[in-house]
Amino acid sequence: MGEYKGHALILRTRDYREADRLVTFLTREEGKVTAVAKGVRKTKSKLSALVEPLTLGFFLLHRGKSLDTLVQGEIVKPYRKLQEDLLLFSYGQYFCELCEAALPEREPSPQVFMLVLAALEALESDGQPARVARCFELNLLETLGYRPAVENCLHCGSSSGSFYFDFVRDGLVCASCSTAGEGCLLSGAAVAVIRRFLNNGFHRLSVCSVPVSLNSEISQVNAALIRKALGKHKFKSFEFIQSLETENN
Ligand SMILES: [Zn+2]
């Protein structure tokens, strides 16, 4: 029992009972934690401004038998730019949805915590949210222990040209080693971007050009890897992003 405090990102909130809200936090120290924020829907509670999705705060929580309770907190970073732009906000929500699916309750993962904060920062500054998303997906997979083998062909060791991505062994097979064109075809340019994302993370992301065609090649591979690693392939926010982007094209 007792209380604990620390930095946490709010991944998701949903209504609970008459006036409460259930809040899913990603804390640095305790991992993913679900807590109840009491009274935040009815009264002019001081807590209500704190329990918005995509908010980084410093929170004090009370450990309960089944559910923890939010006691107090303060906002550290509200990610205003994301809150004001529907597309950017949806990307941020997608990152949160991925974290929620990837982590079991109360299993500390400071690496995932730091990674998602870096991704939200990049989302605010980069101007190309799809590029940030592909980079985040790959680095999240790596952090969870699912780094794909993208340096060389799994058969002959060749490192250049176009490749097929073999989803059984999660790595590349070059065009000459590929027997029946198994997996999905990846251009040399897409492979170069994937390597860069995995090796450099968000560092100097803006110099890495990812036109729409490359983005869809990488997105296809990432989606399959995520499905395999997380056992989940439907992300509401991702589907919403796709509908927004189709509308705008
Ligand atoms: Zn080969």
Which residues contact residue 224 at a Cβ distance below 8 angstroms, ignoring those fewer than 6 apart? Answer: 165, 167, 184
Query: What local confidence, expressed as pLDDT, does residue 181 receive?
Result: 62
Q: Which residues pair with 33 in a beta bridge?
A: 25
- CA 216 / ligand 1 centre spacing (Å): 24
- CA 163 / ligand 1 centre spacing (Å): 8
- CA 201 / ligand 1 centre spacing (Å): 27
Q: Do 143 and 175 belong to one domain?
A: yes
- CA 205 / ligand 1 centre spacing (Å): 29
Q: Do 97 and 203 belong to one domain?
A: yes
Q: Do 71 and 103 belong to one domain?
A: no
| pTM, 2 dp | 0.95
* Helical (H) or strand (E) element with 71: strand 68-77
CATH of the domain at 97: 1.20.1440.120
Q: Do 213 and 136 belong to one domain?
A: yes
- CA 153 / ligand 1 centre spacing (Å): 5
Domain boundary at 78, 97, 117, which?
78
Domain boundary at 78, 93, 128, which?
78
Q: Do 228 and 203 belong to one domain?
A: yes
- What are the backbone angles phi and psi of residue 230, rounded to the nearest 5°? -100, -10
CATH of the domain at 19: 2.40.50.140
Q: Do 118 and 226 belong to one domain?
A: yes
Q: Do 37 and 67 belong to one domain?
A: yes
Domain count, the chain: 2
Angle at 100 between CA 96 and CA 101, to 5 degrees: 120
Q: CA–CA distance from 132 to each of 126, 182, 219, 229 (Å)?
A: 7, 28, 12, 20
- CA 186 / ligand 1 centre spacing (Å): 14
What is the distance between the alpha carbons of residues 84 and 13, in angstroms, rounded to a whole number?
Answer: 18
Q: Do 171 and 223 belong to one domain?
A: yes
Q: CA–CA distance from 149 to each of 131, 146, 182, 194, 198 (Å)?
A: 20, 9, 16, 10, 10
- CA 178 / ligand 1 centre spacing (Å): 7
Q: Name the residue range of residue 234's domain.
A: 81-248
DSSP string, 8-68: EEEEEEEEETTTEEEEEEEETTTEEEEEEETTTTTS--TTTTT--SS-EEEEEEE--SSSE
Q: Do 203 and 145 belong to one domain?
A: yes
Domain boundary at 36, 56, 78, which?
78
- CA 160 / ligand 1 centre spacing (Å): 9
Tell me the pLDDT of the chain (249 aa) as tens digits. 699 999 999 999 999 999 999 999 999 999 999 999 999 998 778 888 899 999 999 999 999 988 999 999 999 999 999 999 999 999 999 999 999 999 999 999 999 999 999 999 999 999 899 999 999 999 999 999 999 999 999 999 999 988 999 999 999 999 889 886 668 899 999 999 999 999 999 999 999 999 999 999 999 999 999 999 999 889 999 999 999 988 876
Q: Do 140 and 197 belong to one domain?
A: yes
Q: Do 70 and 106 belong to one domain?
A: no
- CA 167 / ligand 1 centre spacing (Å): 16
Q: Do 33 and 152 belong to one domain?
A: no
- CA 17 / ligand 1 centre spacing (Å): 58
